[in-house]
Amino acid sequence: MSDEHLEDALRARLHETIDPRVPGVPAEQRVFAAVTEAGRVPAGRFGFRPGPRVAAALAAAMAVVVVGGALGISLALRNGNVNGHPAPAATVPPGILPSPSPSDTPAVSAAPSPTSSLAGIQPCAGDVLTASLYDQDGAAGTLGGDIALRNTGKVDCTLKGYVNLQGVIGGRVVQLGVTHSAGGPLLNNNNGTLPTVRLVTLRPGQSAYVAFEDSDVPNGPTPCSSTQTLLITPPQGGRAVTLTRTPVSLCGGFRAKLWIDIAPVSSIPYYNTKIA
Amino acid sequence: MIDQHLDDRSVSFEAELRPLLGVAMRLATALRLERNDAEDAVQEAALRAWRSRRNRRPGTELRPWFLAIVANQCRETRRGRWASVLRFADPPERASVAVTDTTGSIDMATALRRLPHDVRLAVVLRYYLDLTFDEVATTSGCSVEAARSRVRRGLTALATTLTSSETRP
């Protein structure tokens, strides 16, 4: 066999042997998500980074714990008890008054929820609120954080329910595919259970929080997008509050093209991983 | 703020790296001959590359630099005892994919495993990824002459496998 013939045979045999074993596009996406995560997580935060198989085993174990925990909490709340005792009131900072929590059903929605307020205290208008990113968290392919809404006015005001989110993409304001706790608890429940819809009263200078979760991994044929600016409409409507210089990745999910999931306005941050 | 944690160079590096993940997967699979090991190796290599991105000399092309890291990662994984002990569950889409080996591919896989790492790397780079000898040398961290020599040794070693299976009825 000539060298040329030998080389051609070797090429063919290598492809026959190796090609069926090559991991596919999902594997590339997992690797890329891990690298992207490394770019977002401050150095030294994680000393150990699991490989895909370790991550899969950990994810399976965590799913069992989370599902089991959620079932237990759900049953306890249905009975009005936690561990056989009456459920305690939520702990909140002084001056922020939670109201009893009505039940809430996850749903895809683009419109702010109509809500009521305490007598004599008006809903917070966009004019008196400022927005900032309070904290952030992330895992491979999934990101999240809390948006702080601060009352800069001179009188108390209230927030209750879900905000609406729009983004600025290519110079145009676009409606985001906002879901409300669509996947159950958000990605990293560091702070207890997911917030429920409550009336939050803000004194001047105080903040309420909106937890969100988004994805940076393409899901389906639609490419991901991102926005540096969020327009946040308070639950009671009115003028939107602008949050700038905050990159948010927007991929498909839950039948939305620019998916982002949010929790109701809460008196305490959900992720509780304070930046700076 | 979140933008304080974002480094423009990191974003640029990630954008450069992404198109190389496919060829990196192919290289790692050729060296490890096992799908899961290959993905693990590429992930570790990608994270190593990301952590070392500032150490890359100006003007150095990313592709051979990254492929060299992948090759080193595959060699280190091969040496590690735990690589042959620890086995974890597969992600679902991987567990459902079965590799159907033919007799010829089994013979070739066996023959590849017998080659020294440097020779196998040179053969794979040259005949599977179709790199030039210059690129083989850069990725392998050796001279072009040494790269030619390794490829020649590999071809000679594999010739028996190729000719015997060609004459098999």
pLDDT 10s per residue in chain A (276 long)?
Answer: 677 788 888 888 888 888 888 888 888 888 888 777 766 544 433 333 445 554 555 455 555 555 544 444 333 333 333 333 333 333 223 323 233 333 333 333 333 433 444 457 889 988 899 999 988 776 667 788 899 999 999 999 999 999 999 998 877 888 898 888 765 555 555 545 677 888 899 999 999 999 998 888 777 667 788 888 899 999 988 888 999 877 888 887 777 788 888 999 999 888 776 554
Q: HEC profile for chain B? A: CHHHHCCHHHHHHHHHHHHHHHHHHHHHHHHHCCHHHHHHHHHHHHHHHHHCHHHCCCCCCHHHHHHHHHHHHHHHHHHCHHHHCCCCCCCHHHHCCCCCCCHHHHHHHHHHHHCCHHHHHHHHHHHHCCCCHHHHHHHHCCCHHHHHHHHHHHHHHHHHHHHHHHCCC
**A39 and B CB contact within 8 Å:** yes
* Chain B residues in contact with A13 (beta carbon < 8 A): 104-105, 108, 161-162, 165
* Mean pLDDT of the residues in chain B: 77
Cα A155 from Cα A122, distance rounded (Å): 9
B88: nearest CB among A30, A57, A145: A57
Residue type, B112: L
A184: left (phi over 0), alpha (psi -120 to 50) or beta: left
Q: How many CB pairs under 8 A join A and B?
A: 159
pLDDT digits (tens, 9 = 90+) for B17-32: 888 999 999 999 999 9
Nearest to B2 by CA among A273, A48, A207: A273
Q: Does the interface predicted TM-score (ipTM) exceed 0.90?
A: no
Question: Does B154 score more than 60 pLDDT?
Answer: yes
Residues 33-52 of B with CB under 8 A from A: 33-36, 38-40, 42-44, 46-47, 50-51
Cα B127 from Cα B64, distance rounded (Å): 16
Q: Do B89 and A26 touch (CB under 8 A)?
A: no
End-to-end CA distance of chain A: 68
Percent of chain B with pLDDT over 90: 33
**B7 and A CB contact within 8 Å:** yes
Q: How far is B55 from chain A (nearest CA, A)?
A: 16
**B122 and A CB contact within 8 Å:** no
Residues 110-149 of A with CB under 8 A from B: 132-133, 136, 145
* Chain B residues in contact with A42 (beta carbon < 8 A): 5
Give the count of alpha carbons within 13 A of A227, CB side only.
24
* Chain A residues in contact with B87 (beta carbon < 8 A): 53
pLDDT of residue A205: 93
pLDDT digits (tens, 9 = 90+) for B90-137: 444 443 344 455 666 678 888 888 899 999 999 999 999 999 999 999
Q: How confident is the model at residue B167 (pLDDT cuts 50, 70, 90)?
A: very low
Q: How far is B78 from chain A (nearest CA, A)?
A: 15
